[in-house]
């Protein structure tokens, strides 16, 4: 939907630009695109390197031979042989989808309250939400792990999904900032019309907050998908609950790692995310400009 | 404002509570509970395997003479001071660039975001190998154009800047947030400014930046908190650069390679807690980190409020 | 509304929950009478994966064949922190198998792994079939809470081709010879940078650590009352002065630049395997890599050089360890399995053959098949040599080693001007960090 972004470039009713301006514009265009292409090369190169690693033999991986001496696309197939990848994929999807959905359901209202509702202690609560992010995970995990162990929930994904019912500090903070940018006039209009706060949120604010919610949702989804330490802590003793990230550990032995298989598995794990992102970002940008705040 | 009747106030409070309830429970269980344990354990000697033993302020007193602590604080502070602003500036720059690329916008957006999707360990490995002195392609290329490349992750002076480079490469997630902010600036404001004769640079500073202030604040606060807890990439980069990508049991024992330059505060915390089984001291270290993070955040929040007259 | 009361109550309740959550129930360890039949299920956690995990499985199968009433569940890929957390949470496997000896001190001191002495005495297990070094790293403070499960012995690998080219007859036996040979074997590029290095003395390179080098001078880490000895044992000063002079001969910057371009220790680009380093300290597991990845390399194996010729023949020894957790549901069956894995000669020989590590029992050590490989035999000899040493267990794990390593990193970089003052300060810091344990 490039038409949507074109909107920004179209000038208003103006006299046609003269030749000098046109040349300046063209130079600027070239400059911008050259930078973009240079950046593309820099962003893609490390990823390309990982792909090259995944097509090598195990012996050649992580040596100074960067170009595969022999091509082994069957590494991707071997990954499926060594690990039950579809099963891990299922667990990962389950974890990511449920966590994201629950986090959004519980965080959006909280963010709305912090951004748009007035109540005593709002600032203190806001600061507390940020504080949640400040405790180093190494220290938070010990008491939480003990707690989950008492309820017999270790060895499953439950300790990772249940907290999603209760909001996530990062998402709440992010959503609050986005919601702040929605002018209060819209909300006041709705309230005057007799809408209660929940209705205001659902009918008026949510459609306008779609980009922010999409961003928060994407973040949470990708975070869960790539989460290694969470599943490592809570599911490593039960292979049935492993996610894709833990599956990567299957290629490690004490003095040897099959880096070609590790990178092949990494590429396989990343592929869905890239596809999801590519489609999501179009809708995302569309959402922003469509809901645009035409002043 | 006139005082509201009691009925209205009760209903308003109930409504507010209904919005906040899940988050409040979350805060209580997943924050306050670990926080209270952390505070408690920081006054004890605790190895997870036996009953915690009360030692009062011993853990905190220890921090004064701890050579590893000193080094890790220096490294982490360096990262905060450099990493956070650099990433914010780059993310804003990139998102502005993206708004100006019409053809292939979707393609570029995906490409720029791509690195953020690579798991940090794999990304670090790729970076360290590409920047490897002597055998890596980057230094080969630099040699061809006559530059004697630095030792990157193997040089005490260049190791942290190399980590910053890694962070800049993976800037996609921050960039997306700024993109959303930048795209949300009302078109009309730009049009009005253009009619007034403002050029692009001026428009950027007087319209874009003020409007995205809440996003900048978010990036600054989360950036500081995240950088204070910077662990994975530093640990992995040190292991791999020292030639021990594959060591049974995880992180190589010579953390902080080279010469302790990548030894961050969380790395020390982790070693103390899980390598030496001294969870009491580890919790004390965590509390210190928490206090610092809190302090910086409060300062940032205060400044932002004074700055932009944000709703308080 | 008085908000303070509920908060205080909340804090109290939480603290109470915490204490009860973390207070492990002290189990009265009553062991069965000798000769009682053992049955039940046993859970074993170990850190191996892939092919090595298969090796464990096959030996466990042998055990179950001989003990039909005992069923064993095995979980692979579980490292020390997993085992610690599980035991701390009141769960945990019956048996834990650890990669290193770091946890022995803490697990013995805290009782996380039970004292096996009663079982040993009851079943009349002869501990003398295990060599003294392995016994020393499986006990702490008078408690024997672990048994050694295969061992690693570190020696010296040298490149025979490069030696021939430099006109050196045999491997160096003393530190002075090592330095001499290293210098002879070193080749520089026209611009002065290093091309081939005889011996790369940097401490954080591959397996060069203070622990692994300590046997060259017979240095002691701890005094008899458990305090740091690095400042008082003259052997350490000898070692680090020797190392520094070699580093200075190369040039620290040139060495670090050379080292930066070397391959990963466990990749096919290993610097010794590629002939970039002529002499390297490494353990018996390097043999398998050489056979796989460097078939053209003519290498030799020898004990590490020593300062004093009288103590030649040894090297550094360490190993995997295994113990019974205090939360074990079936300690008797667990003991049977441990006894099998660590003292049954056939099992030990089989494990050694599969995992390519050093066997630990006297009979297994003498096994002709294992000794048929001359290089492997060299390592077995290093293992049994009385001059070999290990790093003593400590209740703060590797803290003392890490702290000294920090001093050494600064020292080799030339940041320490006064060596005696530096060593004395290292003593102080080590003693301080060790109080984290205990």
pLDDT digits (tens, 9 = 90+) for C187-207: 999 999 999 999 999 998 999
Same domain, C80 and C207: no
C-beta separation of B266 from B195 below 8 A: no
ipTM for the predicted complex comes to: 0.89
Residues of A in contact with C51 (CB under 8 A): 253
pTM: 0.90
Q: Looking at chain C from residue 371 to 400, which residues have their Cβ under 8 Å from any Cβ of chain B?
A: 395-399
CA distance A93 to C353: 42
**C15/B67 Cβ within 8 A:** no
Check pLDDT > 90 for residue A73. Answer: yes
Q: How far is CA B250 from CA B122, C46, C319, in A?
A: 14, 14, 17
**C205/B276 Cβ within 8 A:** no
Q: Does B206 touch chain A (CB under 8 A)?
A: no
Residues of A in contact with B274 (CB under 8 A): 138
Residue A137 pLDDT class (50, 70, 90 cuts): confident
Residues of C in contact with B66 (CB under 8 A): 432-433
pLDDT at A295: 30
Residue A12 pLDDT class (50, 70, 90 cuts): low
CA distance C183 to A9: 69
Same domain, C351 and C425: no
3-state secondary structure of C194: strand
**Cα-Cα-Cα-Cα dihedral of C363, C365, C369, C373, to 10°?**
-170
**Residue A118 belongs to a domain:** yes
Check pLDDT > 70 for residue B257. Answer: yes
Residues of C in contact with B50 (CB under 8 A): 24, 110-112
Same domain, C322 and C312: no
Nearest chain C residue (CA) to B152: C260
**A143/C267 Cβ within 8 A:** no
Domain of C216, in residue numbers: 154-316+393-434
Residue B193 pLDDT class (50, 70, 90 cuts): confident
Ranges of beta strands (E only) in C80-224 are 95-98, 147-159, 187-188, 194-199
Tokens of C436: 């984290």
Exposed e or buried b for every residue in A97-126, given b needs 16+ CB within 10 A?
Answer: ebbbebbbebbbbbbbbbbbbeeeebeebb
Q: Could you read off the pLDDT of C22-63 as tens digits, one per residue?
A: 444 445 556 777 777 888 999 999 988 878 889 999 999 999
Higher-pLDDT residue of B12, B112: B112
Least confident of A3-17, B101-115, C18-32, C143-157: A3-17
Nearest chain B residue (CA) to A160: B30
Q: Does A147 touch chain C (CB under 8 A)?
A: yes
Give the residue from B8, B119, B171 with the most A CB atoms within 10 Å of its CB, the best one to mutate: B119
pLDDT at C32: 79
pLDDT at C5: 37
pLDDT at B1: 52
Nearest by CB to residue C266, choosing from A146, A147, A255, is: A255
Nearest chain A residue (CA) to B31: A132
Same domain, C263 and C400: yes
Residue with tokens 């905060």: B80
Residues of A in contact with C86 (CB under 8 A): 149, 237
Those residues whose C-beta lies under 8 Å from the C-beta of residue C418, and which sit 6 or more positions away, are: none
Check pLDDT > 70 for residue A13. Answer: no
Fold type of domain B50-308: MetI-like fold (1.10.3720)
**A139/B286 Cβ within 8 A:** yes
Q: Could you give the number of structural domains in chain A? A: 1
Check pLDDT > 50 for residue B249. Answer: no
Residue B246 pLDDT class (50, 70, 90 cuts): low
CA distance C378 to C357: 13
Residue C1 pLDDT class (50, 70, 90 cuts): very low
The proportion of chain B whose per-residue pLDDT surpasses 70, expressed as a percent, equals 94
**B279/A32 Cβ within 8 A:** no
Whether residue C80 is preceded by a cis peptide bond, meaning omega within 30 degrees of 0, is: no
Q: Does B65 touch chain A (CB under 8 A)?
A: no
Nearest by CB to residue A146, choosing from C88, C99, C269, is: C88
Q: Could you read off the pLDDT of A237-278 as tens digits, one per residue?
A: 888 999 998 888 778 777 778 889 999 999 999 999 999 998
Q: Does C92 touch chain B (CB under 8 A)?
A: no
Domain boundaries, chain B: 50-308
pLDDT at A1: 34
Those residues whose C-beta lies under 8 Å from the C-beta of residue A26, and which sit 6 or more positions away, are: none
CA distance A43 to C154: 43
Same domain, C236 and C302: yes
Residue C325 pLDDT class (50, 70, 90 cuts): very high
The proportion of chain C whose per-residue pLDDT surpasses 90, expressed as a percent, equals 80
Nearest by CB to residue A281, choosing from B110, B286, B311, is: B110
Q: How far is CA C82 from CA A227, B64, B127, B229, C15, in A?
A: 17, 31, 30, 22, 24
**Residue A260 belongs to a domain:** yes
Give the residue from C19, C79, C269 with the most A CB atoms within 10 Å of its CB, the best one to mutate: C269
CATH assignment at residue A92: 1.10.3720.10
Same domain, C288 and C405: yes
Residue A5 pLDDT class (50, 70, 90 cuts): very low
Residue with tokens 């193997």: B154
**Residue C367 belongs to a domain:** yes
Residue C116 pLDDT class (50, 70, 90 cuts): very high
Same domain, C88 and C49: yes
Give the residue from B27, B88, B107, B290 with the most A CB atoms within 10 Å of its CB, the best one to mutate: B27
C-beta separation of C354 from C288 below 8 A: no
Helix (H) or strand (E) run with residue C277 in it? strand C277-283
The alpha helices in chain A, defined as continuous H runs, are 2-9, 19-54, 74-82, 85-116, 122-132, 137-150, 158-161, 169-180, 184-192, 197-199, 206-208, 210-226, 229-235, 244-247, 259-290
Between the ranges A210-224, B194-208, C210-224, where is the mean pLDDT highest?
Answer: C210-224
Check pLDDT > 50 for residue C185. Answer: yes
Same domain, C122 and C191: no
CATH assignment at residue C404: 3.40.190.10
pLDDT at A126: 93
Residues of B in contact with C397 (CB under 8 A): 275-277
Q: Could you give the number of structural domains in chain C? A: 2
**Residue A237 belongs to a domain:** yes
Least confident of B306-310, C23-27, C372-376, C403-407: B306-310
Q: State the distance between the two ends of chain B, measured CA to CA, in whole angstroms.
A: 16
C-beta separation of A210 from A204 below 8 A: no
Q: Other C-beta atoms within 10 Å of C216: how many?
A: 28
To the nearest whole angstrom, how far is the Cα of A287 from the nearest Cα of chain B?
10
Q: Could you read off the pLDDT of B52-89 as tens digits, one per residue?
A: 999 999 999 999 989 999 999 999 999 999 999 999 99
3-state secondary structure of C392: coil
The proportion of chain C whose per-residue pLDDT surpasses 70, expressed as a percent, equals 93
pLDDT at A278: 87
Its sign, for the CA torsion B253, B259, B262, B265, is: positive
Give the residue from C10, C152, C264, C430 with the most B CB atoms within 10 Å of its CB, the best one to mutate: C264
Check pLDDT > 90 for residue A206. Answer: no
What average pLDDT does the segment C233-253 reach? 96
DSSP at C143: B
Least confident of A279-293, B184-198, B293-307, C98-112: A279-293
Q: Looking at chain A from residue 211 to 230, which residues have their Cβ under 8 Å from any Cβ of chain C?
A: none
pLDDT at B247: 58
pLDDT at B161: 96
**Residue C24 belongs to a domain:** no
DSSP at C28: -
**Residue A145 belongs to a domain:** yes
C-beta separation of B183 from A178 below 8 A: no
Higher-pLDDT residue of C282, B213: C282
Same domain, C259 and C403: yes
Closest CA to C430 of C410, C405, C412: C405
Tokens of B70: 């000193």
Its sign, for the CA torsion C295, C297, C299, C305, is: negative
What average pLDDT does the segment B173-182 reach? 87
**C77/A236 Cβ within 8 A:** yes
Closest CA to C307 of C182, C218, C420, C211: C218
CA distance C370 to C365: 8
The set of chains that have 3 or more CB pairs under 8 A with B is: A, C
Check pLDDT > 90 for residue A199. Answer: no
Residues written for chain A: 295
Same domain, C255 and C171: yes
Q: Looking at chain C from residue 235 to 264, which residues have their Cβ under 8 Å from any Cβ of chain B?
A: 256-257, 259-264
Residues of A in contact with C269 (CB under 8 A): 62-64
The proportion of chain B whose per-residue pLDDT surpasses 90, expressed as a percent, equals 59
Those residues whose C-beta lies under 8 Å from the C-beta of residue A267, and which sit 6 or more positions away, are: A50, A51, A54, A76
pLDDT at B118: 93
Q: Looking at chain B from residue 244 to 303, which residues have their Cβ under 8 Å from any Cβ of chain A?
A: 245-246, 248, 266, 269-270, 273-274, 279, 282-283, 286, 289-290, 293-294, 297-298, 301
Domain of A236, in residue numbers: 85-290
Residue with tokens 């011993």: B58
Q: State the distance between the two ends of chain A, measured CA to CA, in whole angstroms.
A: 23
pLDDT at B267: 93
The proportion of chain A whose per-residue pLDDT surpasses 90, expressed as a percent, equals 45
C-beta separation of C263 from C257 below 8 A: no
Nearest by CB to residue C78, choosing from A63, A237, A250, is: A237
Nearest chain A residue (CA) to C47: A254
Residues of A in contact with C90 (CB under 8 A): 149-150
């Amino acid at each position: 939907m490039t038409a949507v972004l074109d909107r920004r470039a179209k000038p208003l009713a103006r006299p046609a630009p003269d030749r000098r301006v046109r040349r300046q514009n063209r130079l600027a265009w070239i400059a911008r695109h050259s930078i973009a292409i240079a950046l593309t090369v820099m962003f893609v190169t490390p990823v390309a390197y990982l792909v090259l690693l995944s097509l090598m033999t195990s012996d050649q991986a992580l040596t100074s031979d960067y170009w595969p001496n022999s091509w082994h696309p069957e590494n991707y197939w071997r990954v499926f042989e060594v690990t039950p990848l579809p099963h891990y994929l299922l667990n990962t999807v389950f974890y990511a989808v449920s966590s994201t959905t629950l986090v959004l359901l519980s965080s959006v209202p909280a963010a709305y309250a912090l951004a748009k509702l007035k109540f005593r202690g709002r600032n203190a609560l806001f600061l507390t939400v940020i504080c949640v992010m400040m405790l180093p995970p190494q220290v938070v995990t010990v008491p939480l792990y003990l707690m989950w162990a008492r309820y017999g929930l270790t060895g499953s994904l439950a300790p990772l999904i249940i907290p999603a019912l209760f909001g996530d500090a990062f998402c709440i903070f992010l959503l609050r900032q986005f919601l702040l940018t929605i002018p209060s006039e819209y909300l006041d209009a709705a309230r005057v019309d007799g809408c209660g706060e929940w209705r205001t949120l659902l009918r008026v604010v949510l459609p306008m907050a779609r980009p922010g919610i999409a961003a928060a949702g994407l973040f949470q989804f990708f975070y869960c998908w790539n989460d290694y330490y969470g599943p490592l802590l809570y599911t490593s003793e039960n292979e049935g609950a492993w996610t894709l990230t833990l599956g990567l550990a299957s290629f490690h032995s004490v003095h040897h790692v099959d880096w070609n298989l590790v990178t092949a598995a990494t590429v396989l794990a990343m592929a869905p995310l890239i596809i999801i992102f590519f489609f999501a970002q179009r809708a995302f940008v569309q959402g922003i400009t469509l809901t645009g705040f035409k002043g | 404002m006139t005082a509201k009747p009691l009925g209205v106030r009760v209903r308003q409070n109930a409504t507010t509570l209904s919005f906040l309830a899940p988050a409040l429970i979350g805060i209580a269980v997943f924050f306050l509970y670990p926080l209270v344990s952390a505070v408690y354990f920081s006054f004890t000697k605790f190895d997870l395997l036996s009953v915690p033993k009360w030692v009062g302020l011993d853990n905190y007193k220890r921090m004064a003479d701890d050579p590893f602590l000193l080094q890790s604080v220096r490294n982490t502070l360096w990262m905060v001071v450099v990493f956070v602003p650099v990433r914010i500036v780059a993310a804003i720059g990139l998102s502005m660039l993206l708004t100006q690329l019409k053809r292939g916008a979707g393609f570029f957006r995906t490409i720029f975001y791509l690195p953020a999707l690579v798991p940090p360990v794999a990304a670090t490995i790729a970076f360290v190998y590409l920047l490897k002195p002597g055998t890596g392609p980057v230094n080969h290329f630099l040699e061809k154009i006559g530059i004697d490349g630095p030792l990157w992750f193997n040089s005490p002076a260049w190791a942290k800047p190399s980590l910053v480079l890694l962070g800049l490469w993976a800037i996609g997630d921050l960039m997306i947030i700024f993109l959303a902010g930048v795209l949300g600036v009302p078109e009309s404001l730009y049009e009005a400014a253009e009619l007034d004769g403002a050029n692009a640079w001026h428009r950027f500073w007087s319209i874009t930046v003020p409007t995205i202030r809440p996003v900048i604040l978010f990036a600054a606060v989360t950036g500081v908190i995240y950088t204070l807890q910077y662990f994975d990439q530093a640990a992995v980069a040190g292991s791999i650069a020292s030639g021990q990508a594959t060591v049974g049991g995880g992180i190589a024992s010579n953390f902080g390679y080279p010469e302790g330059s990548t030894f961050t505060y969380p790395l020390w915390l982790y070693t103390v807690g899980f390598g030496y089984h001294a969870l009491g001291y580890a919790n004390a270290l965590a509390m210190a980190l928490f206090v610092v993070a809190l302090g910086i955040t409060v300062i940032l929040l205060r400044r932002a409020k004074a700055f932009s007259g944000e709703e308080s | 509304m008085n908000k303070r009361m509920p908060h205080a109550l909340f804090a109290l309740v939480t603290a109470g929950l915490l204490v009860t959550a973390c207070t492990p129930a002290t189990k009265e360890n009553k062991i069965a009478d000798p000769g009682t039949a053992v049955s039940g299920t046993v859970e074993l956690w170990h850190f191996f994966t892939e092919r090595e995990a298969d090796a464990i499985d096959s030996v466990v199968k042998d055990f179950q064949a001989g003990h039909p009433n005992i069923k064993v569940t095995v979980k692979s890929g579980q490292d020390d922190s997993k085992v610690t957390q599980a035991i701390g949470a009141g769960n945990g496997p019956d048996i834990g198998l650890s990669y290193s000896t770091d946890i022995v001190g803490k697990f013995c001191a805290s009782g996380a792994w039970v004292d096996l002495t009663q079982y040993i005495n009851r079943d009349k297990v002869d501990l003398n079939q295990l060599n003294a070094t392995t016994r020393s790293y499986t006990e702490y403070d008078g408690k024997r809470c672990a048994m050694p499960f295969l061992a690693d012995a570190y020696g010296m690998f040298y490149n025979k081709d490069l030696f021939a080219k430099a006109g050196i007859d045999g491997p160096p036996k003393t530190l002075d010879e090592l330095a001499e040979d290293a210098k002879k074997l070193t080749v520089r590029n026209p611009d002065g940078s290093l091309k081939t290095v005889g011996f790369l003395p940097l401490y954080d390179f591959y397996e060069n650590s203070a622990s692994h080098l300590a046997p060259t001078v017979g240095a002691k880490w701890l005094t008899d009352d458990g305090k740091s000895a690095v400042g008082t044992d003259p052997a350490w000063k000898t070692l680090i002065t020797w190392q520094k002079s070699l580093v200075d001969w190369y040039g620290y910057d040139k060495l670090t630049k050379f080292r930066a371009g070397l391959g990963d220790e466990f990749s096919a680009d290993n610097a010794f395997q590629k002939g970039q380093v002529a002499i390297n300290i490494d353990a018996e597991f390097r043999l398998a890599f050489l056979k796989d990845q460097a078939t053209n390399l003519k290498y030799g194996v020898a004990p590490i050089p020593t300062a004093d010729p009288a103590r030649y023949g040894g090297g550094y020894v360490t190993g995997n360890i295994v113990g019974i957790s205090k939360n074990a549901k079936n300690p008797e069956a667990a003991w049977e399995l441990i006894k099998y894995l660590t003292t049954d000669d056939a099992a030990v020989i089989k494990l050694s053959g599969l995992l390519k590590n050093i066997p630990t029992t006297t009979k297994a050590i003498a096994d002709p098949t294992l000794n048929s490989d001359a290089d492997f035999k060299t390592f077995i000899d290093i293992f049994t040599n009385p001059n070999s040493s290990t790093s003593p267990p400590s209740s703060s794990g590797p803290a003392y080693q890490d702290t000294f390593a920090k001093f050494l990193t600064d020292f080799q970089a030339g940041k320490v001007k006064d060596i005696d003052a530096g060593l004395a300060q290292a003593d102080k810091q080590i003693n301080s960090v060790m109080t984290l344990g205990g």
